[in-house]
């Protein structure tokens, strides 16, 4: 497996790291890149992430046998539309979106007969800092990448997609788009939302800053993901809002149980609720392949 | 400053670590210890944490010039009552309780004229594992200890209390009991409760275990404190329930804002809410003296 021409749409942390990894693995000959910001694509060129900076999606995609769409979830629709007419019928197109059902809807609405070129992908990787400056070829190593194949994908394409991520060190899993979005609403999107809300609840109180001065490592770890990028997470939470709201409902039910136990000072019920959480969390361990250092994309 | 006889009431992680630290600092000659479990006090003796295992609180406290009450918050009341009649009028008595207003109420109800011997203390330290086996003399080093003095305390006593914690490496602060309880409800008790509830919300769903298999480091850090000890946290949440419920109310208001933005898919409002949290959390840093490795006592 070797690609003649990789087109990178979105020269940020995720896309830049993919390009570097592919180059380091010797899997690609030439890399074209497009970013909406001319400054960003020039920087990607200077850093040697791409070989050629293109001023349009169409120009970058022309003649590419591999295309990676590494733009925020909210920009997927317009990107699909912009690349459709330049995409070769035999090209492999992948994205790195953190939500899948909405990106699939966007692709169905805008990719036309090129829909079957696209294998939806979500590499569970990232960093607390964004941008091409922080791109590195090792970003996907020992990370999990989830593919949510379409019925239109060929076995050959799916195999190639899997091989690409494996070649750059990622552990590949497959899920349905629905299971993907439900899963990440539960274990990533809701925790982010709760951490954001917990910090905002502190800020809303006049004593908030004084409170936070006394906070220890429990607060530090619990709230770490609240420092995440607002445009990335606006897109994720908005795109997956139905599943996120379902998870909020489950969470509120669990919170209600605690509040009822506190209200009646039912210490047995309270201990039982805590014990249940403690037992589950104590026996949980991070699965190999899920490890990453991100606050923005996990 | 040197004590002839330290009485340790509660030979667990917190008490055992205090005894070891005091001994290592050369601040104490003889250490008596009581724990409700005979096995525990024998183990404390074997490990050299105490010099003498006593079968009653009264026996341990007799003749002590320093007494540390290191029992769960829920056991404070009976411990105060049990030691009152044996406590020397010139002794310094301290506790290590994570809540203060309720412990003060317990002391007022049961310490009688020995109330002025007691300087309420909360060392912000601990470990994810409990018990005398894990005690270590360095537990309080570079940690913060908060004193919430009583009007009855003498300047001399307060100074001595402060010197004890400083001598074993802790940074000492003073707060009112009310400010202490409000602060830790906001930055410790509520985050623990939210983490417990988030884990229980997952467990309540049939797909919970499958969801958790895909969870990454964001979930790992966010939920770490959900593994905390259930009896310790039952006591803390119950003792401080009024302040905790106030914090739940603030949290619910912040959560409602997110839910309203999701419901109307108001992405501007959503981004603003996230940005506010992200700005606050990005600029927050753990204060020197608040650092500790605990999941159970921070």
**Phi/psi at B215 (5° precision):** -70, 145
Q: Does B112 reside within a domain?
A: yes
Contact B220 A184 (CB under 8 A): no
Residues A138 and A193 in one domain: no
Q: Which of B176, B196, B220 is the last residue of a domain?
A: B176
How many C-beta atoms surround the C-beta of residue B254 within 10 A?
A: 23
pLDDT higher than 90, residue A99: yes
Residue A107 maps to a domain: yes
CB < 8 Å to B221, chain A: 221-222, 224-225
- Asked whether residue A250 carries a pLDDT value surpassing 60, the answer given is yes
Do you know the residue count of chain B? 298
Helical H segments across A13-154, by residue range: 13-24, 38-46, 57-61, 76-83, 101-110
Best of B201, B236, B282 to mutate (most A CBs within 10 Å, chain A): B201
Give the least confident one: A45-59, A279-293, B8-22: A279-293
Window 198-217 of B, Cβ < 8 Å to A: 198-205, 207-208, 210-217
Same domain, A186 and A126: no
CA distances B98 to A110, A140, A166, A222, B14, Å, are 58, 42, 49, 19, 11
Same domain? For B114 and B195 the reply is no
Interchain pair B219, A188: CB under 8 A: yes
Please determine, for residue B288, whether its predicted confidence score (pLDDT) is greater than 70.
no
Residues A92 and A209 in one domain: no
Q: Angle of helix A230-239 relative to helix A101-110, nearest 10 degrees?
A: 80
B293 domain-assigned: no
- Tokens in use for B73? 């918050």
Same domain, A121 and A240: no
Give this complex's ipTM.
0.87
- Residue B278 has its nearest CB partner, among A124, A228, A282, at A228
Phi first, then psi: what are they for A125, rounded to 5°? -150, 170
Q: Is residue B290 part of a domain?
A: no
Q: What is the DSSP letter of B132?
A: G
Above 50 in pLDDT, residue A297? no
Q: Residue A200 sits in a domain of what CATH number?
A: 1.10.3660.10
Q: Which of B176, B207, B223 is the last residue before a domain boundary?
A: B176
pLDDT of residue B13 exceeding 70: yes
Residue A297 placed within a domain: no
- Supply the Cα-derived Rg of chain B in whole angstroms: 21
Is residue B172 domain-shared with residue B204, that is, in the same domain? no
A238–chain B Cβ distance below 8 A for any pair: yes
Q: β-strand B121-123 against B144-147: which pairing, if any?
A: antiparallel
Q: Tens of pLDDT along A232-246?
A: 899 999 999 999 999
B94 CB-near residues (< 8 Å, 6+ apart): B66, B67, B68, B69, B118, B119, B120, B121, B161, B164
CATH for B132: 3.40.50.720
Same domain, B168 and B190: no
Output the CA–CA distances (angstroms, integers) from residue A83 to A7, A31, A74, A99, A277, in the order listed.
10, 16, 16, 20, 47
Domain assignment present for B65: yes
Does the predicted model carry a pTM greater than 0.95? no
Higher pLDDT, B117 or A298: B117
DSSP string, B172-223: EEE--HHHHHHHHIIIIIHHHHHHHHHHHHHHTSTTHHHHHHT--HHHHHHH
pLDDT of A298 reads: 41
pLDDT one-digit tens code per residue, A100-110: 999 999 999 99
Residue B295 lies in a domain: no
Smallest CA–CA distance, residue A65 to chain B, in Å, is 31
Number of other residues whose CB lies within 10 A of the CB of residue B295:
25
Residue of A nearest to B192 (CA): A218
Asked if residue B135 and residue B27 are part of one domain, the reply reads yes
Does residue B91 contact residue B156 with C-beta atoms inside 8 Å? no
Pair (A186, A156) in one structural domain: no
Same domain, A162 and A220: no
Domain count, chain A: 2
Rounded-to-integer distance, Cα B223 and Cα B220, Å: 6
Q: What is the domain range of residue A89? A: 3-176
B269 and A CB contact within 8 Å: no
Mean pLDDT for chain A? 94
Residues 6+ apart with CB under 8 A from A96: A14, A15, A18, A68, A69, A70, A121, A122, A123
Among A125, A154, A176, identify where a domain stops: A176
Residue A224 belongs to a domain: yes
My answer on whether A210 and A278 are in the same domain is yes
Please tell me the predicted confidence (pLDDT) of residue B73: 87
Which chain B positions have a beta carbon within 8 Å of A274's beta carbon?
A: 196, 228, 230, 233-234, 237
Write the pLDDT tens digit of every residue in A159-192. 999 999 999 999 999 999 999 999 999 999 999 9
On whether both A79 and A215 belong to a single domain, the answer is no
């Amino acid at each position: 497996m070797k690609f003649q021409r990789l087109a990178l749409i979105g020269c940020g942390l995720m896309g830049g790291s993919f390009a570097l990894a592919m180059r380091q693995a010797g899997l690609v000959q030439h890399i074209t890149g497009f970013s909406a910001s001319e400054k960003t694509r020039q920087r990607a060129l200077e850093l040697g992430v791409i070989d050629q900076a293109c001023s349009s999606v169409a120009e970058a995609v022309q003649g590419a046998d591999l295309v990676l769409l590494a733009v925020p979830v909210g920009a997927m629709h317009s990107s699909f539309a912009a690349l459709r007419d330049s995409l070769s019928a035999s090209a492999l197109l992948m994205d790195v979106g953190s939500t899948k059902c909405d990106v699939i809807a966007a692709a169905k609405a805008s990719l036309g007969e090129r829909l079957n070129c696209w294998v939806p992908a979500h590499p569970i990787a990232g960093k607390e800092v964004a941008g091409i400056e922080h791109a590195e070829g090792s970003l996907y190593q020992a990370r999990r990448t989830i593919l949510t194949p379409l019925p239109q994908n060929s076995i050959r394409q799916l195999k190639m997609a899997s091989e690409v991520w494996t070649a750059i060190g990622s552990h590949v899993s497959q899920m349905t788009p629905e299971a993907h979005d439900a899963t990440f609403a539960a274990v990533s999107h809701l925790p982010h939302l709760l951490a954001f809300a917990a910090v905002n609840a502190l800020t809303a109180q006049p004593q908030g800053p004084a409170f936070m001065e006394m906070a220890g490592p429990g607060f530090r770890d619990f709230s770490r993901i609240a420092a995440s990028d607002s445009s990335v997470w606006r897109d994720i939470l908005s795109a997956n809002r139905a599943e996120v709201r379902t998870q909020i409902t489950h969470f509120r039910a669990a919170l209600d149980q605690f509040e009822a136990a506190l209200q009646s000072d039912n210490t047995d019920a309270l201990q039982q609720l805590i014990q249940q959480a403690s037992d589950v969390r104590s026996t949980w361990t991070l699965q190999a392949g899920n490890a990453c250092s991100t606050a923005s994309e996990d």
